[in-house]
Amino acid sequence: MKKGKFITVEGPEGAGKTTIIDMLASNLAKEGYQVLQTREPGGIEIAEQIRSVILDKNNTKMDPRTEALLYAAARRQHLAEKVKPAMDKGYIILCDRFIDSSLAYQGYARGLGIDEVYSINSFAIEGMMPELTLYFDIEPEAGLDRINQHKGREVNRLDLEKLDFHHKVREGYLKLMELYPERIFKIDASGTLEEVYQQAESKLKEII
């Protein structure tokens, strides 16, 4: 059976993930690769519906465990409906966020525990972990500055968390790098777009 490559991109708000995934996907497609660009939470109708519930600024009463379960539910549907079929067809899948977002945001920053959040996700993903995760590292202040300057970007419920929460998210990602050094590759996302792109492209090219 043909087997694709499942690659995820992670990092705090405004690190530049979406911008760089757009560039990678379009350049890889020009080179003749079959590429699927997608995102979490979302990427397919049911998961986009769950996304709108999770990220709605008016849902101020959302319990942290409910939040973690909704992300895991969206993840399951997205994997089953979109990612697995594309893997079977041999696509390179570039996914904007995956399980590490749940481990960093819900597990570490919200304080639910990395192991606990991993365990609910393990039911959802059935062992389907990415082959490579590009972690875009940036100081939260710099990332938030970028999104504040990005006119037209909708501000969501998670963006409105205090700065301390965003620092914890970054700390969570740095812990995940220690836990999964063979899978997670750190990109310095504080540089220019060209500098960040070069780092991401050269790591990606090592595995495709």
Ligand X SMILES: Nc1ncnc2c1ncn2[C@@H]1O[C@H](COP(=O)(O)OP(=O)(O)OP(=O)(O)O)[C@@H](O)[C@H]1O
Ligand Y SMILES: Cc1cn([C@H]2C[C@H](O)[C@@H](COP(=O)(O)O)O2)c(=O)[nH]c1=O
State which of positions 155-194 bind ligand Y (CB under 6 A).
Answer: 156, 158
Q: Considering the rule CB under 6 A, would residue 18 count as an interface residue with ligand X? A: yes
Q: Minimum distance between the CB of residue 15 and ligand X, rounded to whole angstroms?
A: 4
Q: Considering the rule CB under 6 A, would residue 67 count as an interface residue with ligand X? A: no
Instruction: Give the 3-state secondary structure of 154-180.
Output: CCCCCCCCCHHHHHHHHHHHHHHHHHC
Closest to 172 measured CA to CA, from 102, 121, 118, 123: 102
Q: How many CB atoms lie within 10 A of CB 182?
A: 6
Residue 173's Cβ-side half-sphere holds a number of Cα atoms within 13 Å equal to: 27
The full length of the chain comes to 208
Residue 18 labelled as part of a binding site? yes
Residue 64 labelled as part of a binding site? no
Instruction: Figure out which of the listed residues 5, 97, 166, 168 binds ligand Y, where binding follows CB under 6 A.
Output: 97
* 78: phi then psi, degrees, rounded to nearest 5: -65, -40
Q: Considering the rule CB under 6 A, would residue 10 count as an interface residue with ligand X? A: no
Inter-CA distances, 9 with 15, 122, 125, 130, 187, Å: 10, 19, 17, 10, 10
Q: Considering the rule CB under 6 A, would residue 108 count as an interface residue with ligand Y? A: no
Q: Minimum distance between the CB of residue 205 and ligand Y, rounded to whole angstroms?
A: 25
Q: Considering the rule CB under 6 A, would residue 196 count as an interface residue with ligand X? A: yes
Q: Considering the rule CB under 6 A, would residue 155 count as an interface residue with ligand X? A: no
Please check whether residue 95 is in contact with residue 83, taking contact to mean a CB–CB distance below 8 angstroms: yes
Size of the site for ligand Y (CB under 6 A): 12
Residue 66 labelled as part of a binding site? no
Q: Which residue has its beta carbon closest to ligand X?
A: 16
Size of the site for ligand X (CB under 6 A): 14
Task: List residues near ligand Y by CB under 6 A.
Answer: 13, 39-41, 71, 97, 101-102, 105-106, 156, 158
